[in-house]
Structure 1
Amino acid sequence: MASSLVDWETARRTARRLGRPGPATTRADAAAVVAELHECAAASVAHVEALTGLTPAAGAPTPVTAVVDRPGWVDANTAGMAALLDPISEALQEKTGSTPGALARAVGGRVTGVQAGAVLSFVSSKVLGQYEVFGTGGRLLLVAPNIVEAEQKLGVDPHDFRMWVCLHEVTHQLQFTAFPWLQTYLEKQVQEFVRASDLDPAVLRDRLREVVGSLSDAVRGKPVDGDAPGGLMALVADPAQQAVLDRVTAVMSLVEGHAEFVMDGVGPDVVPSVRTLRRRFGQRRKGVGPVDRLLRRLLGLEQKMQQYADGRHFVAGVVDRVGMEAFNTVWTSPGTLPRKEELTDPQRWVDRVLTPY
């Protein structure tokens, strides 16, 4: 799992070593949580399909749900990140004419592995679930200790919360199984991103140091300057890549906002306390303390929170105007995906995509 840019085995071991244990539980209680999460995930499929009107494409792989602990999530994501980022490393080597040894010495695969491990350790205690798009692909991951910890801290009904989380993640599963071209599209954007890059090892090293330095300041409680690097995306913030970033932001905002819309849209018949869940969970996403909020900012998680908000605004705005069936035109092709500026102005998308027809 090692590459010239990041030693992923070091990242995996570091994240496991730094990771915090989940909430204390008995073996019997843990088994009951795992069983209920599997049941909620299976039950969510019919609810999501009924609300969205979507079904998996013919020949789509049978969905697999895996209930994991924090180390299990780390293992899955080091594999996924390696599958996504190692080709970037190779492309940079080819583009700059550097040999693998030279790039490894410039950046330090083991050092960046430790840094990546620290990031994964932090995120592994926050994430509730995900649908694996890259790497092994096709699995729905539910992180049991994080779900239990969140429902305890929020003081919400455990069954409702578990169903609510599963509705969100199953929506992602349906998006990528109903429209397999989405994964190909995202992979092509990564390739396009690399082709647009003019990074060389020296620039990459300097930017990495800036971000890690800011992250260290946050951990020590120092204030973050307004001009500090904007999360890990500061590593790849070349102007030539902005168009690619805008396209990726738009599609990720769509898939996240669509999932947000669905998990609330099934209504109280499925999740009786859905309004309470939304209100309390919105506070959780802001971070629990100043260091936590700074870490979220530096890791780019604040940008992800904005994707949830913008995407949900877009989906709700289009559905309110034209209904769910017409909204589903958004999944037809790359040309029907929303543009970044349309996320906050759904009528512009309606005018561009639907009005001609």
Structure 2
Amino acid sequence: MNPIGGARALLGADGNGGVDWAAARRAAHELTDPGDLALSDSVRGAYAEDLQAAHREIQATAGIEFDLPRTIQVQNRHHWIEATLETLETAFEPLADRPGALPGITGPLNTASIAGSVAYLSRRVLGQYDPLLFAESEPHRLYVVHPNLVSTAAELDVPVERFRRWIAFHEVAHAAEFGVAPWLRPYLAERVTGIVAELATGSLPKDQYGELNRAMTVVEGYAELLMDEAFDKPSAELRRKLDTRRQSGGPLSTVVSRLLGLDRKREQYERGRAFFDAIVAERGLEAAGAVWDEPGNLPRESELEAPGRWLDRVRPTAPN
């Protein structure tokens, strides 16, 4: 990691109001140690086997069929930074020509914010299913950030082989959601695009943000449910330790997490999982899967807190 190099990259950023993406890439790389990616053939094979096992078990558990990316991309932190900035640059294109409020200052501030955020996240992300919301040539990708996975397994004091398999199940659970709900990818893309477009006009897109947040609460909660149902090894200890990790951190980490919305992501996990636990307890896993039948089946805000209302609307019981 080279903070001086990162600062130098940011000082050279374009002074216009948008983001200097080239400078953001250079800065994020300088601020982040890429991590070790020296993999043996056996470890590469284990990643592939875990992916196949997750695909097989999740299909059997949920009674669904879905496709996966042909390979799992085992990355270091710099690889993940590149993939993430590629997506962000496309998503924020409507803001590219928006003039800054402080000419000569806004651009570097925007660039520093993006670079710092992505650098921080690159040291925490373990795996990621990427539906490539704005890509036309590829349907999806699946990444694992190997250095983070290895270091986190050591931090949690769990066998890296078991932890690696558990993360594979989580990311494949996300692939299952997008596979059984072909409407989900354009639904999310439209809302992200709409939010950015409204921001470009100076408006606050509360409605679209609320819709996006509810959808992501469902995406995260259902994936948590499905991976735990399908995982072929005891996982309660892993769940407890990872939940503790999500909630831990010093004062600086807490502030950064709030600024980046990581506290909101944790809320999405917890709130979504509580919703689906209630549905499964009442009607089983099949009823929970009805959420993916059509966009109208996504729970409303009030239904997230009262799952019975969602069941009454989407899966009403037959009258006696």
TM-score (normalizing by structure 1): 0.76
In structure 2, what is the equivalent of residue 161 of structure 1?
Answer: 163
In structure 1, what is the equivalent of residue 274 of structure 2?
Answer: 313
- Structure 2 counterpart of 1:345, which letter? A
CA distance in 2, matches of 1:115, 1:332: 38
Q: Quickly say closer, same or farther: Cα 1:117–1:35, change in 2 above 3 A.
A: farther
SS at match of 1:288: coil
Q: 1:83 pairs with 85, 90, 96, which one? A: 90
CA RMSD of aligned residues (A): 2.6
Contact residue 163 and residue 238 of structure 2 kept, 8 A: yes
Q: Quickly say closer, same or farther: Cα 1:107–1:335, change in 2 above 3 A.
A: farther
- Structure 2 counterpart of 1:84, which letter? A
- Structure 2 counterpart of 1:330, which letter? V
In structure 2, what is the equivalent of residue 247 of structure 1?
Answer: 211
Contact residue 5 and residue 86 of structure 1 kept, 8 A: no
Structure 1 residue 121: Cα displacement: 0.5
Q: 2:243 pairs with 282, 290, 301, which one? A: 282
Structure 1 residue 107: Cα displacement: 6.8
Alignment of 1:225-236 (within 5 A): none
- Structure 1 counterpart of 2:160, which letter? P
In structure 2, what is the equivalent of residue 203 of structure 1?
Answer: none
- Structure 2 counterpart of 1:271, which letter? K
In structure 1, what is the equivalent of residue 3 of structure 2?
Answer: none
SS at match of 1:141: strand
Structure 1 residue 266: Cα displacement: 2.3
Q: 1:150 pairs with 146, 149, 152, which one? A: 152
1:11 aligns with 2:21: no
CA distance in 1, matches of 2:253, 2:192: 29
Range that drifts further, 180-189 or 258-267: 258-267
1:51 aligns with 2:61: yes
In structure 1, what is the equivalent of residue 120 of structure 2?
Answer: 122
Contact residue 174 and residue 219 of structure 2 kept, 8 A: yes
Contact residue 18 and residue 99 of structure 2 kept, 8 A: no
Q: 2:73 pairs with 32, 55, 66, which one? A: 66
1:352 aligns with 2:313: yes
CA distance in 2, matches of 1:252, 1:107: 33
CA distance in 1, matches of 2:279, 2:39: 46
Range that drifts further, 103-112 or 156-165: 103-112
- Alpha-carbon displacement from aligned partner over 1:249-297 (angstroms, at most 9, x marks no partner): 1110111111111222225xx123x111111111100133221122111
Count matched residues.
299
Structure 1 residue 320: Cα displacement: 1.6
- Alpha-carbon displacement from aligned partner over 1:63-95 (angstroms, at most 9, x marks no partner): 4421111000000000011122213x26xxxxx
In structure 1, what is the equivalent of residue 140 of structure 2?
Answer: 138
Structure 1 residue 349: Cα displacement: 0.7
Q: 1:36 pairs with 32, 46, 71, which one? A: 46
In structure 2, what is the equivalent of residue 262 of structure 1?
Answer: 226
- Structure 2 counterpart of 1:157, which letter? P
Contact residue 48 and residue 71 of structure 2 kept, 8 A: no
- Alpha-carbon displacement from aligned partner over 1:25-48 (angstroms, at most 9, x marks no partner): 8x355x544432222112110111
1:181 aligns with 2:142: no
CA distance in 1, matches of 2:28, 2:146: 18
- Alpha-carbon displacement from aligned partner over 1:113-142 (angstroms, at most 9, x marks no partner): 222011100000001111112344500011
- Alpha-carbon displacement from aligned partner over 1:180-214 (angstroms, at most 9, x marks no partner): 210100112124335655843xxxxxxxxxxxxxx
Q: Quickly say closer, same or farther: Cα 1:107–1:258, change in 2 above 3 A.
A: farther
Range that drifts further, 140-149 or 291-300: 291-300
Contact residue 82 and residue 135 of structure 1 kept, 8 A: no
In structure 2, what is the equivalent of residue 109 of structure 1?
Answer: 107
TM-score (normalizing by structure 2): 0.85
- Alpha-carbon displacement from aligned partner over 1:296-352 (angstroms, at most 9, x marks no partner): 112110010000001111111112211222222211111111122222221111112
SS at match of 1:281: helix
Name stretches of at least 5 consecutive residues in structure 2 with no aligned partner: 1-13
